[in-house]
Chains A and B, each alone.
Chain A
Amino acid sequence: MIDVENLRIRFGDREVVKGVSFSVKKGESFGIVGESGSGKSTILRAMAGLNESWEGRIAFGGEPAALKRPPGFFRRVQMVFQDPYGSLHPRQTIDRILSELPLVHGMDNIDKRIVQALSDVALPQAARFRFPHQLSGGQRQRVAIARALIADPQVLLLDEPTSALDVSVQAEILNLLSDLREARGLTYILVSHNLAVIAHLCGQVGVMLNGEMVEQLSAQDLRVGKTSHAHTTELRTLSVGLEEPA
Chain B
Amino acid sequence: MLVDIQNLRIAFENRSSRFEAVRGISLSLGAEKLGIVGESGSGKSLTARALMKLLPSNAAITADRLSFDGIDVLAASETQMRQIRGKRAGFILQDPKYSLNPVMNIGRQVSEAWRAHKGGSKKQALEAAIHLLDQVKIRNPREVAASYPHEVSGGMGQRVMIAMMLAPDPELLIADEPTSALDATVQAEILRLIEELVSERNMGLILISHDLPLVSHFCDRVAVMYSGRVMEELKASELLNARHPYTKGLLNCMPSLTHPRDRLPVLNRDASWLTA
Contact = CB atoms under 8 A, between A and B. Distances in A.
B267 A168 contact: yes
Chain A residues touching B, range? 20 to 34
Contacts of B266: 168, 171-172, 175
Interface stretch (B5-13, B84-92, B109-117, B250-258): B250-258
Given A166-B39, A178-B263, A196 B250 contact: no
Contacts of B210: 166-167
Contacts of B186: 35
B254 A235 contact: no
Q: Dominant SS at the A interface?
A: helix
Nearest to B255: A200
B258 A246 contact: no
Most chain A C-beta atoms within 10 Å of own C-beta, residue among B257, B265, B266: B257
B257 A236 contact: yes
B227 interface: no
A171 B183 contact: no
A241 B267 CA distance: 24
Nearest to A172: B266
A238 B184 contact: yes
Given A235-B184, A235-B185, A246-B239, A223 B40 contact: no
Interface in B209-258: 210-214, 216-217, 236-237, 239-240, 249-251, 253-258
Nearest to A231: B185
A115 interface: no
A172 B267 CA distance: 9
Contacts of A167: 39, 210-212, 250, 253-254
B256 A243 contact: yes
B267 A245 contact: no
A7 B24 CA distance: 56
Contacts of A171: 253-255, 264-267
B258 to A, nearest CB: 6
Contacts of A197: 255
A104 interface: no
A193 B183 contact: yes
B141 interface: no
A223 B259 CA distance: 8
A170 interface: yes
B257 A223 contact: yes
Nearest to A34: B183
A246 B236 contact: yes
Most chain B C-beta atoms within 10 Å of own C-beta, residue among A36, A137, A195: A36
A175 B254 CA distance: 12
Contacts of A170: 253-254
Given A234-B185, A238-B184, A243 B239 contact: no
A200 B260 contact: yes
Contacts of B249: 168
Interface string A227-241: 000000011101111
B30 interface: no
Contacts of B216: 245-246
A61 to B, nearest CB: 28
A245 B251 contact: yes
A214 interface: no
Contacts of B40: 137, 166
Given A170-B253, A245-B213, 20 more contacts: A35-B184, A137-B40, A166-B210, A168-B266, A168-B267, A171-B253, A174-B255, A175-B264, A193-B184, A196-B254, A199-B255, A235-B184, A235-B185, A241-B188, A243-B254, A243-B256, A244-B258, A245-B240, A246-B217, A246-B239
Interface of B: 39-40, 154, 183-186, 188, 210-214, 216-217, 236-237, 239-240, 249-251, 253-258, 260-267
